[in-house]
Structure 1
Amino acid sequence: MPSGKLVITYRNPVDIIASSILRLDDDLTDNTISKHLLICKNNGFNDITELKQESACFLQYEKFYFDHTYIYNELEAFFGITIDTKLRIYLKDKYSVKNIAHSVSKFSSFKEYDLETHFHGKHISKFMGAPGSGYELFNQEQINRIESEFGEIFQLLGYARNNANHFD
């Protein structure tokens, strides 16, 4: 495991798979979903059970998408620091979904990216990163498949089913 303090952001796996498919303009087939399930697992979710045992700061995407204060408060508590109000405002404006979408609009593919921020082309999909967008993209059978692949992860990360029977 990594040494030092670790900050991990995570997101509902249904939304991750949707975002991954959209960034590559892949079709919504069973084979495509299998490919992106593997990508997701190999890029962090296979390690999440072990990492959850570490003293790491876990930031849930669905909580900070609408409220950057959540990020600042969690980082302050984790690192024992204070983030100045002016810096909070600056960061919120600089890294708003709208501004990120604008900054990556010059890139035509996922392979192109900004050297400073590492935001890539197709970083922001037609859903503008909104939580729950995967539930709009996939049909119920596809949702069930993705949720069953990550059932343990949903529980480990504290997701619960909402009134629409989706994890959030």
Structure 2
Amino acid sequence: MKIISAGLPRSGSTLVMQMLKILYSDFPLQKVHGYIEPKEGQIRICTYRHPFAAAVSNARIYNDLSDEHLKNSAIYIRKMAKAVDLYTEDGVTLMLRYEDFYLNRKLIVSSLVERYGTKFSDMLVEKALEYSSIERNLERQRVYSDFAHWDSETHIHGGHISEYKGDPTSWRNYVSSSQIQILVSILNPVRLRWGY
């Protein structure tokens, strides 16, 4: 069996990957942002979030929220959204919406149990929750000066988590109303397609 941990960049895919690493520690794990064709014996998970939030978060990690950088970030998220659409359409991937699991990581576990029938001990679940906690990840990110530096074990980068600790609505704190219009002009079709 192989575990595929996919997701739109800045959609909680690192958090989910950390949990999967503990829950399925006996199996190989591959973390990707692009699409991987389904194969027999895979457990497939893909995360996504409001595309405006993903674009703003992507711009924030590079400390550049200028109109031009935000526009480029939105174009990048639009491109990467195509992989999320493919995971949605393949019918075999567990789709996890960031806004649903960000404060309820046990939802990740219950979704895996429901979709794949995997049973996890309470002790293993607690270990996964502790390993992937916002507090642990904030400690990890302090070691790295910026997003270009990261931990290959946990996939946490410097500046990975904002001062809002991943709040799904915090993207609005970073942009002006005119910048929201930039996001609308590029990402509105994705937003509507995904039901936001």
- Work out whether the TM-score is over 0.5: yes
Contact 2:101 2:108 in 1 (8 A): yes
Mapping for residues 7-86 of structure 1, pairs under 5 Å: 7-26=45-64, 28-42=65-79, 44-55=80-91, 56-86=93-123
Alignment deviations for residues 82-123 of structure 1 (CA, whole Å, 9 cap, x no partner): 122222212112211121011111000111111211111111
Does residue 3 (structure 1) correspond to residue 38 (structure 2)? The answer is: yes
**AA at the equivalent of 1:86:** M
Q: Identity, % of aligned pairs?
A: 24
Q: Distance in 1 between matches of 2:128 and 2:148?
A: 25
Post-superposition Cα deviations, 1:19-50, rounded to whole Å, max 9, x if no partner, equal 11121111x222111111122233x2133333
Query: Scaled by the length of structure 2, what TM-score is found?
Result: 0.73
Aligned length: 157
Check if 1:147 corresponds to 2:171.
Answer: no
Alpha-carbon distance in 2 for matches of 1:150, 1:38: 8
Distance 2:184 2:127 in 1: 37
Unaligned runs of 5+ in 1: 160-168
Contact between 1:49 and 1:156, CA under 8 Å: does it hold in 2?
no
Name segments (4+ residues, structure 1) moved above 6 Å: none
User: Structure 2 unaligned runs (5+)?
Assistant: 1-35
After TM superposition, the structure 1 stretch with the greater mean CA deviation from structure 2, 67-76 or 3-12, is 3-12
The CA distance in 2 between the partners of 1:29 and 1:22, in whole Å, is 10
Give the Cα–Cα distance (whole angstroms) in 2 for the partners of residues 79 and 115 of structure 1: 27
Mapped to 2, the partners of 1:17 and 1:75 lie a distance apart of 27
- The partner residue of 1:123 within 152, 156, 160 is 160
Whole-angstrom distance in 2 between the partners of 1:114 and 1:79: 29
Paired residues of 2:78 and 2:190 also in contact (CA < 8 A): no
What SS does the aligned partner of 1:21 have?
helix
Q: Secondary structure at the match of 1:25?
A: coil
Identify the structure with the greater strand proportion.
2
1:21–1:92 Cα change, 3 Å: same
- What's the C-alpha RMSD, in Å, of the aligned pairs? 1.7
Letter in 2 for 1:23: I
Q: Return the alpha-carbon distance in structure 2 between the equivalents of residues 157 and 17 of structure 1.
A: 15
